[in-house]
């Protein structure tokens, strides 16, 4: 992303705050087409009154949303999904132009966002006319059975500030907003500037449809400016991005001193493990190779859940290396406007330089198992577009470097690491310091069970892919709204989604003590859904 003033012919992305579209002033940031390097939009938040934006959302939208039942809010989510689905082709076009997405890449982002909205619309409809949560029936506190306590969750009386990464401008917006809005908490979303165009047009679509109380959904396109300074107790920050930025947000003086609730989902060194039983020619072996290649190349490897470390038995390491390299050789890289292209560019030239630097560091410690050099590009100029070759690295047995457990290269890059026994595989996987997801490919139930128990402590999600679910599992990198998304350690220590579980982040849990008659009156507007709904 460049920061400069560009030609007036390039459209400006306004921000939607306090129920109005407003333009920032001063120096602008430029969004580009990563296939060509051409400017496609510009934006700035300079001069915007973000304190006013937050106050408007708190004072106007918050009470209106809290007055609605879960079912009523769910109905709005369903209408939002329907409105977005009608313009799906427009969203695909923006994703191609501004994010360099192939149609398959765009589907993960756009269709995933619409599907998430529909999921929470259905879940919310099942919560009926309740307005608050309860996590268990009332319990007696003393000998007097009339003195009881119940734990409830009431919607936070603030604003949910959602700060999203550049790789999922649609899904990042709606996977957070759907849970927040269903909870009754207004949203101010801040997409990554590099790809803000798609999120901005989606918000514009919903604002024009007037589906939400004014101020329920705001967007700022550009820098956060002094946004954190205006936050207070009751507000929350839900962040997706780098671990360094997440730490900076946590350490912000206003955020720390005012008790602002924070959820961080950061990039991580996700792992996949091939079981000791999975020899060449087996179903588990073939599935493993396919999954690695897909995770390396979908969205040019720019996914927080993408596979970065590939663990294989020593006996199979060379044949796996050659099989993955052969599949990568078939990947056509270029302008996603060409239907034959299977992998587009990175988001911009600065990211291309960052990835190149990361590859150079890993190459100093590893062999290169596959990398096309020079890279052949379809329908684009390699010097103007942000293209890189899929790169498979191989860590020689006996090399005790920890770099592949420390350095994440956010692109189509992964390192293959041979292991001797399962204990070694599980131990090295944990050395990533906490990850969003690990996957295991094996037909051995014992290996799978031991892998699950070993990996769950350092990974937010573990996919156990045995041959019986080969045609039905959704894959290593796909995040489902019914399952928790997040991970410990460097992955941020946060949790998003997870069905009903995700609502609690936007509620204040409190224990109410009183007579059974009073508590029964309160819980008439509360809901504790059965586990099947979570």
**Percent of the chain clearing pLDDT 70 (strictly above):** 97
Contact 528, 134 (CB under 8 A): yes
The tens digit of pLDDT for each residue in 351-401 reads: 999 999 999 999 999 999 999 999 999 999 999 999 999 999 999 887 778
Burial of residue 473, with CB atoms counted within 10 A of its CB: 0-12 exposed, 13-18 middle, 19 or more buried:
middle
The tens digit of pLDDT for each residue in 203-232 reads: 999 999 999 999 999 999 999 999 999 999
pLDDT of residue 401: 82
Mean pLDDT for 476-482 is 95
pLDDT of residue 437: 97
Q: Spot the catalytic one: 304, 327, 366, 408.
A: 304
- Is 265 noted as a catalytic residue in this protein? yes
- Is 205 noted as a catalytic residue in this protein? no
The tens digit of pLDDT for each residue in 249-265 reads: 999 999 999 999 999 99
pLDDT at 2 over 60: no
Mean pLDDT for 32-49 is 95
Show the domains of the chain with their CATH numbers.
Answer: 48-266+494-533 (3.40.605.10), 270-486 (3.40.309.10)
Largest CA distance in the chain: 80
The tens digit of pLDDT for each residue in 334-356 reads: 999 999 999 999 999 999 999 99
SS3 at position 193: helix
pLDDT of residue 3: 38
Mean pLDDT for 490-509 is 95
pLDDT band at 167 (very low <50, low <70, confident <90, very high): very high
In the block, tokens 């957070």 appear at: 176
pLDDT band at 6 (very low <50, low <70, confident <90, very high): very low
Instruction: State the Cα angle at 493 between 425 and 137, rounded to 5°.
Output: 115
Contact 361, 391 (CB under 8 A): no
pLDDT at 531 over 90: no
Q: Spot the catalytic one: 28, 43, 175, 265.
A: 265
pTM of the model: 0.93
Radius of gyration of the chain (CA): 24
End-to-end CA distance of the chain: 40
3-state helix, strand, coil in the chain (%, to 5): 40, 20, 40
User: Which of 511, 532, 495, 510 has the alpha carbon at shortest distance from 179?
Assistant: 495
The tens digit of pLDDT for each residue in 273-308 reads: 999 999 999 999 999 999 999 999 999 999 999 999
Q: How far is CA 103 from CA 187, 222, 299, 335, in A?
A: 29, 26, 10, 11
pLDDT of residue 275: 96
């Amino acid at each position: 992303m460049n920061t400069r003033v560009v030609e007036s012919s390039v459209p400006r992305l306004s921000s939607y705050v306090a129920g109005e579209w407003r333009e920032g002033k001063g120096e602008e940031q430029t969004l580009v087409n990563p296939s060509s390097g051409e400017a496609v939009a510009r934006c700035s938040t300079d001069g915007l009154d973000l304190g006013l934006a937050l106050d408007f959302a708190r004072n106007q939208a918050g009470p209106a949303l809290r007055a609605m039942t879960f079912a009523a809010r769910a109905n709005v989510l369903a209408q939002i999904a329907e409105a977005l689905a009608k313009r799906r082709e427009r969203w695909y076009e923006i994703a191609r132009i501004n994010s360099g997405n192939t149609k398959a890449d765009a589907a993960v982002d756009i269709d995933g966002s619409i599907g998430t909205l529909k999921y929470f619309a259905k879940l919310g409809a099942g919560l009926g006319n309740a307005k608050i949560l309860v996590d268990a029936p009332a319990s007696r506190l003393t000998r007097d059975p009339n003195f009881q306590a119940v734990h409830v969750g009431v919607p936070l009386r603030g604003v949910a500030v959602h700060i999203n990464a550049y790789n999922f401008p649609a899904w990042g917006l709606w996977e957070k907003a759907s849970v927040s809005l269903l909870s009754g908490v207004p949203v101010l979303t801040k997409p990554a500037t590099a790809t803000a165009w798609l999120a901005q047009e989606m918000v514009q679509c919903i604002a024009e449809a007037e589906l939400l109380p004014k101020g329920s959904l705001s967007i700022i396109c550009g820098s956060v400016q002094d946004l954190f300074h205006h936050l207070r107790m009751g507000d929350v920050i839900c962040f997706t991005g780098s671990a360094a930025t997440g730490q900076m947000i946590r350490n912000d003086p206003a955020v720390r001193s005012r008790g602002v609730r924070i959820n961080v989902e950061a990039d991580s060194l996700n792992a996949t493990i091939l079981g000791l039983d999975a020899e060449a020619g087996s179903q588990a072996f073939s599935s493993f190779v396919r999954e690695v290649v897909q995770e390396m190349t979908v969205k040019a490897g720019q996914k927080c859940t993408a596979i970065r470390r590939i663990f294989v038995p020593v006996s199979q390491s060379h044949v796996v290396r050659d099989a993955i390299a052969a599949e990568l050789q078939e990947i056509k890289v270029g302008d996603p406007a060409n239907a034959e292209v299977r992998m587009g560019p990175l988001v911009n030239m600065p990211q291309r330089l960052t990835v190149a630097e990361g590859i150079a560091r890993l190459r100093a410690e590893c062999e290169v198992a596959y990398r096309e050099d020079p890279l052949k590009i379809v329908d684009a100029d390699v010097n103007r577009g942000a293209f890189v070759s899929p790169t498979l690295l191989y860590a020689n047995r006996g090399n005790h470097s920890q770099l592949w457990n420390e350095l994440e290269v956010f692109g189509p890059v992964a390192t293959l690491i041979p292991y001797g026994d399962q204990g070694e595989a599980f131990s090295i996987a944990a050395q990533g310091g906490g990850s969003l997801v690990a996957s295991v490919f094996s037909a051995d139930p014992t290996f799978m069970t031991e892998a699950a128990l070993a990996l769950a402590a350092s990974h937010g999600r573990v996919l156990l892919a045995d041959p019986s679910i080969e045609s039905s599992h959704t894959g290593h990198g796909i995040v489902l709204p019914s399952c928790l998304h997040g991970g410990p350690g460097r992955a941020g220590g946060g949790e998003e989604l997870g069905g009903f579980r995700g609502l609690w982040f936007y509620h204040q849990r409190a224990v109410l003590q009183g007579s059974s008659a009073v508590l029964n009156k309160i819980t008439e507007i509360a809901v504790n859904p059965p586990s099947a709904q979570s």
